[in-house]
Amino acid sequence: MSEFTLPHHHGESTHAASLHKELMNTVHFSAVSDVFKHLSDPTRVRIFWLLSHQEECVINIAAMLEMSSPAVSHHLRSLTESGLLVSRRVGKEVYYKAAEAEQIHLLHQIVEQVMEIICPEKAVDFQASQETIIRNVHDYLMEHLSERITIEELSRKFLMNTTTLKNAFKAVYGTTIAAHMKQHRMEQAAVMLRSSQTDIAGIAKAVGYESPSRFTATFKDTYGILPTEYRKQQQKQ
């Protein structure tokens, strides 16, 4: 068989033969078409995007999308049958998440970049390095020291799956998010004990502890002294 050539030759070098050969492999294109067909509905795209970030049950998915559970179940069934989602049952509850496959991760990235999803409070640069994103996560946590922000909330806000986020944070700061935040909370508490007359309960709440007793125990574990004793000691200096 002679090599494929284009009817019109415009003088430039082309890869017409190799491109033509791939174009004739319709099975490959049909497989890709089938994947996108399952995401042809905007609701399914939303569900797929959500479950690429975290595992959820039907009721929670329905609540987040402000839809009924039966309507969500219909889409979940289609996405699961297509291989885009996987599920597991715990008692009567069924949990769903995006499948762990390279093509699924790539599809997730395509969805995010094409739609240019923007967080309400902070635009996320999809081209930013992991380190840049992690430093943004750190800054956000420092700005909300009094709040207990979950890894799932950070994952949704900064569009990074929970495992990657935890591993990347440890790579940048050398410790886990929980240990890092504990250290910052205790340092801030020490500053407040030295420079203010705020009571222990108020300081505890300011650094993210609803329970003053738990705060007191954590502070003693960190500094080897109770907060009240630390304040008296500092006032004498």
**CATH number of the domain enclosing 99:** 1.10.10.10
138 pLDDT higher than 90: yes
Provide DSSP, 187-230.
Answer: HHHHHHHHH----HHHHHHHTT-S-HHHHHHHHHHHHSS-HHHH
Domain boundary residue, one of 128, 144, 174: 174
Last residue of a domain, one of 99, 117, 135: 117
Q: How confident is the model at residue 127 (pLDDT cuts 50, 70, 90)?
A: very low
Burial of 84 (C-beta count, 10 Å sphere; 0-12/13-18/19+): buried
CA atoms within 13 A on the CB side of 58: 18
pLDDT at 211: 93
Q: Are both 107 and 168 inside the same structural domain?
A: no
- Domain end call among 117, 136, 153: 117
Q: Which amino acid type is present at position 5? A: T
pLDDT tens for 86-106 read: 999 988 889 999 998 888 888
State whether 112 and 214 are in the same domain: no
In this prediction, residue 119 carries a pLDDT of: 41
Q: Quick one: 39 and 96 in the same domain?
A: yes
Decide: 169 and 137 in contact? Cβ < 8 Å: yes
- Alpha-carbon dihedral 2, 3, 8, 12, rounded to 10 degrees: -150
Assess whether 18 and 84 both reside in one domain.
Answer: yes
Verify that 26 and 100 share a domain, yes or no: yes
What pTM did the predictor assign?
Answer: 0.49
State residue 126's pLDDT score: 45
Number of folded domains in the chain?
3
Q: Residue 192's domain spans which residues? A: 179-236
pLDDT per position as a tens digit, 189-231 = 999 999 999 999 999 999 999 999 999 999 999 999 999 999 9
Terminal Cα-to-Cα distance of the chain (whole angstroms): 93
pLDDT for position 100:
87
Computed from CA positions of residues 120, 125, 130, 131, in that sequence, does the dihedral angle turn out positive or negative? negative
CATH number at residue 201: 1.10.10.60
Report the sign of the C-alpha dihedral through residues 183, 184, 187, 193, in that order: negative
Per-residue confidence (pLDDT) for residue 234, from 0 to 100: 86
Show the 3-state SS of 117-186: CCCCCCCCCCCCCHHHHHHHHHHHHHHCCCCCCCHHHHHHHHCCCHHHHHHHHHHHHCCCHHHHHHHHHH
